[in-house]
Structure 1
Amino acid sequence: MSCNTQVSSEMANEIASEIFDYESGCPLVDEIMEIEQPWKPQCDSGLELRVSGYVRSLKQAVTLVLAVEKLKRPQRKPIGSEFSDLELLNILMEHVNEERVNLEVFPDTESFGTELSRRRSDEPHSICDTEKKSWVLNELNGLPAELTAMVLQGPNISQQVTLRLSTYIPQPQPGLGQPVVLGIGSNNLFLSCNGPDSLPALELEMVQDRDGLKTIRMGSATARFLFYKRDSGSTSSFESARFPGWFISTSRNVERVRVTMCNGRTTAGRVTDFQVSRI
Structure 2
Amino acid sequence: MCDFDLSQALDGPLGPDNTECESRCFEMTDMKDEIIKLDVGLDLVVSHNPRTMKSVATVLLAVNRMKKPPTRSPWELSDNELCAVIMDSLLDETIVKTVADVSTGKERIIFQRTSSWECTLCDSSQKAIICKSEELKLQAATLKGGYGDRKVNFKLVNYVSTGPCRPNGQTVVLSIKNHNLYIACNMEGNRAQLNLEECSEENLRRISNDGNMDRFLFQVGTTGVNVTTFESVKYRGWFISTSSEDDNQPVEMCKVDAHQRVTAFRMNY
Q: For this structure pair, what is the TM-score category when the shorter chain's length is used for normalisation? A: 0.5 to 0.7
* Residue 221 (structure 1) shift: 1.1
Structure 2 CA distance for aligned equivalents of residues 229 and 129 of structure 1: 14
TM-superposition CA deviations, 1:128-185 (whole Å, max 9, x none):
0000000001011xxx400000111211111000111000002765774311000012
- Kept in 1, the 8 Å contact 2:109–2:166? The answer is no
* Residue 233 (structure 1) shift: 2.1
- Kept in 2, the 8 Å contact 1:135–1:149? The answer is yes
Residue 251 of structure 2 corresponds to residue 254 of structure 1: no
Aligned mate of 1:135, from 129, 138, 152:
129
Counterpart in the other structure of 2:136? 145
User: Residues 1-279 of structure 1 correspond to what in structure 2 (within 5 A)?
Assistant: 112-121=107-116, 123-140=117-134, 144-170=135-161, 176-196=168-188, 198-207=190-199, 209-234=200-225, 235-264=227-256, 266-277=257-268, 279=269
Unaligned runs of 5+ in 1: 1-106
- Sort the Cα spacing of 1:222 and 1:113 in 2 relative to 1 into closer, same or farther, 3 A: same
* Residue 232 (structure 1) shift: 2.3
Structure 2 CA distance for aligned equivalents of residues 197 and 176 of structure 1: 28
- Kept in 1, the 8 Å contact 2:110–2:162? The answer is no
Structure 1 CA distance for aligned equivalents of residues 211 and 265 of structure 2: 28
Structure 2 CA distance for aligned equivalents of residues 116 and 271 of structure 1: 28
Instruction: Please give the root-mean-square deviation of Cα atoms over the aligned residues, in Å.
Output: 2.1
Structure 1 CA distance for aligned equivalents of residues 155 and 190 of structure 2: 28
TM-superposition CA deviations, 1:29-75 (whole Å, max 9, x none):
xxxxxxxxxxxxxxxxxxxxxxxxxxxxxxxxxxxxxxxxxxxxxxx
Counterpart in the other structure of 1:23? none
Q: Report the secondary structure of 1:223's partner residue.
A: helix
Structure 1 CA distance for aligned equivalents of residues 191 and 111 of structure 2: 26
TM (norm. structure 2) is: 0.57
Structure 1 CA distance for aligned equivalents of residues 121 and 207 of structure 2: 24
TM (norm. structure 1) is: 0.55
Q: Give the structure with the higher percent helix.
A: 2
Amino acid at match of 1:250: T
Structure 1 CA distance for aligned equivalents of residues 168 and 194 of structure 2: 20
Structure 1 CA distance for aligned equivalents of residues 167 and 237 of structure 2: 14
Amino acid at match of 1:137: C
Q: Sequence identity, in percent?
A: 30
- Sort the Cα spacing of 1:175 and 1:216 in 2 relative to 1 into closer, same or farther, 3 A: closer
Q: Report the secondary structure of 1:276's partner residue.
A: strand
